[in-house]
Amino acid sequence: MVKIAVFASGNGSNFEKIVLNSQNKYRVEILIVDREDAYVIERAKKIGIEYVYINPKEYISKEEYEKKIEKILQEKNIQLIVLAGYMRIVSSYLIKKFNKKIINIHPSYLPEFPGKNGIRDAYEGKVKYTGITIHYVNEKIDGGEIIFQKKIEIKSDWTLEILETHVHKFEHEYYPKIIAELSKKIME
């Protein structure tokens, strides 16, 4: 079974769905968190997944911080890194070590609305459609090769909250499925 590490910084709803919907296709070995107060830690405790909090401020550079992470990933024989609300840019150091083995989910139909506020930007942009995108992580922020996308029509009477609910529902449905598919390919 493919061994996965999830990186997260916040709420962790995707992390939880990824763990609960693995269907024996992959195994979440560890959660890496960069914020001590992230709610995702509570979720990890509840569902019994090991987690490590690593404080980036304790390292003199991003590379040193990522070397610490890399050491943990090696100890656990991690084959795939899954970013799920990880609010930090992965540097070329880790990207090179895990070439095409780091994926991310973004809450818009890329290349539309990259950046931190994908849902809000689409909503305020008054576009008809937005969506979700799962992509490989490379040096370009939200710019790596796209693995999967799904469109969502923004109905004219939707509030931002309604749109958020729909986006997250799709994320929760498709991220575990795509991870399972990638895991199958890794095993081949």
- As annotated, the active-site residues are 106
107 binds ligand GRF (CB under 6 A): yes
Return the number of the residue (56 or 59) whose C-beta is nearest ligand GRF.
56
Among residues 43, 101, 106, 166, which is the contact residue for ligand GRF, using CB under 6 A? Answer: 106
Binders of ligand GRF in range 72-91 (CB under 6 A): 84-85
Q: How far is the CB of 171 from ligand GRF (least distance, A)?
A: 5
Longest alpha-carbon distance in the chain: 50
Q: How far is the CB of 167 from ligand GRF (least distance, A)?
A: 6
Q: Print burial letters for 25-45: b (CB count within 10 Å at least 16), e (below 16).
A: bbebbbbbbbbeebebbebbe
49 binds ligand GRF (CB under 6 A): no
User: Which residue's Cβ has the minimum distance to ligand GRF?
Assistant: 85
13 binds ligand GRF (CB under 6 A): yes
Q: HSE-up of 96 (CA within 13 Å, CB side)?
A: 6
105 binds ligand GRF (CB under 6 A): yes
Binders of ligand GRF in range 133-172 (CB under 6 A): 171
- 126-130 long-range contacts (CB < 8 A, ≥24 apart) are 127/154, 128/153, 128/154, 129/153, 129/154, 130/154, 130/163, 130/167
Q: Give the interface segment with ligand GRF, choosing from 4-12, 48-56, 122-130, 150-158 (CB under 6 A).
A: 4-12
CA–CA separation, 44 vs 62, rounded Å?
Answer: 25
Sort strands 80-83 and 146-153 into parallel, antiparallel or unpaired: unpaired
